[in-house]
Chains A and B, each alone.
Chain A
Amino acid sequence: SQQGEEDPQALSIQEGENATMNCSYKTSINNLQWYRQNSGRGLVHLILIRSNEREKHSGRLRVTLDTSKKSSSLLITASRAADTASYFCATDLSGYSTLTFGKGTMLLVSP
């Protein structure tokens, strides 16, 4: 079964707005990662947050992790049309780099 589940499945916003995606998982993790996939392409790593971290930033991205609730969120601020993609969370249970991916959130940013 899927370890991570993203919510919502799809999100449609206007350029300049913020986009928030959530990920819930079931078991203890070593780290949680977020990836982006443009239509029909491979995945690109965005950010990794360790189990002992609560928040991490990278440019317009902000990721939070709440291990007590087994959940994470990805915030994209001031979104652009180029942010249109699918976003996946992935959990690393053991630290040996085998990841379990969720089904993804499709983000559409309209100009």
Chain B
Amino acid sequence: DVKVTQSSRYLVKRTGEKVFLECVQDMDHENMFWYRQDPGLGLRLIYFSYDVKMKEKGDIPEGYSVSREKKERFSLILESASTNQTSMYLCASSSEGLGNHEQYFGPGTRLTVT
């Protein structure tokens, strides 16, 4: 069975802290994605990666960075957390290449920055 796991379901951090959100998939997928989900705004793509050590900016990359050192792991980093980064963060993965591929999502991390 396909599995995408995220390191925490709930996280509370203080303003200015460095925050790491980890995502691991066991499907040998090349593509991995980070989204944030906010009420009334839907899902917005932060960053994605097509391969190890490769990253591409999504629609809202400001204030975030990512790391993909291994194929199965994709980390989202908030260098200096701010209150406007309080949100639900969702990780997803999919197969590579041109075609029609669905995304598999993790359970989400609800981050609160105080």
A residues at B contact (CB < 8 Å)? 2, 30-31, 33, 35, 40-45, 48, 50, 88, 90, 92, 95-104
Contacts and interface: CB of A to CB of B under 8 A. Distances in A.
Contact of B90 (A30, A42, A97): A42
5 contacts: A2-B42, A43-B92, A48-B102, A97-B101, A103-B41
Contacts of B107: 41-42
B104 to A, nearest CB: 7
B25 interface: no
Contacts of A43: 43, 90, 92, 103, 105
Contact of B100 (A31, A41, A104): A31
Interface in B1-37: 4, 31, 33, 35
B108 A42 contact: yes
Contacts of A31: 100
A42 B104 CA distance: 9
Contacts of B100: 30-31, 48, 50, 92, 95
B43 A101 contact: yes
Query: Could you say which of A43, A50, A104 has the most chain B C-beta atoms within 10 Å of its C-beta?
Result: A43
